[in-house]
Amino acid sequence: MSYSIQSIVALRGVFPCELPDALEVVELKGGVEMIPLGTIAREFHGIPFLPLTDEGDVELPSALTQLCTQIAMRGDFAYIEAEVFGGAGTQAYVLFSGGKAGSPIVANDAINYALQLLGVRTGKDSDEFESVGLGRHRETDSWLTHSPSIQIIEP
């Protein structure tokens, strides 16, 4: 089984009403919202695919940091990514607090830690990842309402 996700998550009300181009907000469970960084968004904003888990970078690429600071208006949020293939995988997050990026954390349960820091609470039979519904789709583009085959033509 394979799984990958690359997105920005926050509690409801943190993201601005108007987002930068090629981005959309998706409602998750438990009062959490997500901005999936699918194929179109990554290409439009010059963001690499899974820079922390797939590429092994030790800091966020500048294009991703710039995008995150554009949406850092009303509270804390986290950039998250994960890649699982054949049962083995890696997760990572960077917490943005007060408009500033923290250090990247790469760990087996990194997304659960990020969601905990944002205030997500779970029932006794699930973890944070499961409680907000991040397992609903197996790859980032599946979360989006538009087709990843749409071509964005820049002026």
Q: What are the pLDDT digits (tens) for 82-110? A: 998 876 789 999 999 988 999 999 999 99
Q: Where are the domains of the chain?
A: 2-143
Listed as ranges, residues in the chain with pLDDT below 70 are 1, 87, 125, 146-155
Spatial separation of the C-alpha atoms in residues 109 and 27, rounded to whole Å:
22
The pLDDT of residue 149 = 45
Q: Which tokens in the block code for residue 139?
A: 């790859």
Q: According to the model, what pLDDT value does residue 29 have? A: 93
Query: In the prediction, which pLDDT does 89 show?
Result: 83
What does the pLDDT read at residue 27?
94
Strands (E) in the chain, as ranges, are 2-11, 26-27, 32-36, 77-85, 88-97, 100-101, 105-107
